[in-house]
Amino acid sequence: DAKTTQPTSMDCAEGRAANLPCNHSTISGNEYVYWYRQIHSQGPQYIIHGLKNNETNEMASLIITEDRKSSTLILPHATLRDTAVYYCIVRVYQTGANNLFFGTGTRLTVIP
Amino acid sequence: DTGVSQDPRHKITKRGQNVTFRCDPISEHNRLYWYRQTLGQGPEFLTYFQNEAQLEKSRLLSDRFSAERPKGSFSTLEIQRTEQGDSAMYLCASSTTGVQQPQHFGDGTRLSIL
């Protein structure tokens, strides 16, 4: 799986958009980008995933650059409940290899 | 709530004891995963089932660890002769079969070894 690089921590003002970057310069053509987050004392929560097109759901938007070497997770209106560790994962599913590699993620703190 | 359920949420035991955790996946999810998470780190993969078949094991899964999914529904993870280094959060996830299907996680069992 391709390696990802994320900032260790970020702050965002409540009500503003939170933009979380992820670099994955060695991504291959069949690898998807997944985002999960983990709020303290809870299990990771799936947010969104994509291959090359931008994706949006009720939680967030995922913007993937045209060369696919980086992506940005956007939380459009951050709330205090969005304070969590956000993990960017690049993964291709294939027979015999189904685990996710989480890394250490970005700790997002939403400030009142 | 029909999410992934794990039991117990917390377990405290003395070194050398055996412990068993249970995971109930989302119904109709035929894939089930176990991960371990230590403080300040992201989750690390331990093992994976498709239905009742254990198809993948990490080298983290020492011979003191055993996982089962006898009927392809719930799963158990047993740790024998626990050691201090086994203290961690043990997370279970499930997914449907299919390319790119996301894994959905439970809230884990926190194990503390005295």
Both tokens of B106, joined, read 């439970």
In the structure encoding, which two tokens stand for residue B4, read together? 């992934």
Binary contact (A43, B100; C-beta < 8 A): no
Q: Which residue of B has its CA nearest to A85?
A: B42
Scanning the structure block, which residue is given the tokens 């060369």? Answer: A67
Q: What is the 3-state secondary structure (H, E, C) of chain A?
A: CCCCECCCEEEEECCCCEEEEEECCCCCCCCEEEEEEECCCCCCEEEEEECCCCEECCCCEEEECCCCCEEEEEECCCCHHHCEEEEEEEECCECCECCCCCCCCEEEEEEC
Nearest-by-CA chain B residue for A86: B42
pLDDT at position B98: 75
Inform me whether the pLDDT recorded for A112 exceeds 90: yes
Give the C-alpha distances (Å, rounded to integers) separating A54 from A8, A49, A51, A64, B101.
24, 9, 8, 6, 17
Given pLDDT bands bounded at 50, 70 and 90, which one contains residue A29?
Answer: confident
HEC letters along chain B: CCCCEEECCEEEECCCCCEEEEEECCCCCCEEEEEEECCCCCCEEEEEEECCEEEEECCCCCCCEEEECCCCCCEEEEECCCCHHHCEEEEEEEECCCCCCCCEECCCEEEEEC
Q: Residue B69: CB partners within 8 Å, gap ≥ 6?
A: B32, B49, B51, B52, B54, B75, B76
Chain B segment 45-104 residues within 8 A of A by beta carbon are 45, 48, 55-56, 58, 91, 93, 99-104
How many Å apart are CA B87 and CA B16, to the nearest integer? Answer: 12
**Is residue B8 reached through a cis peptide bond, with omega within 30 degrees of 0 on the bond before it?**
yes
A98 and chain B in contact, CB less than 8 A: yes
- B58–A99 CB contact, under 8 Å: yes
Does the distance separating the beta carbons of B93 and A102 come in below 8 Å? no
B87 Cα to chain A: minimum distance (Å): 15
The pLDDT assigned to A97 comes to 53
Q: Which of B9, B103, B107, B109 to mutate to test the interface with A (most CBs of A within 10 A)?
A: B103
Chain B nearest-CA distance from A88, in A, is 11
Q: What is the pLDDT along chain B (114 residues), one digit of tens a residue?
A: 579 999 999 999 999 999 999 999 999 899 999 999 999 899 999 999 999 999 888 888 899 999 999 988 999 999 999 999 999 999 999 998 876 788 999 999 999 999
Residues from chain A that touch B102, judged by Cβ atoms under 8 A, are 34, 46, 49
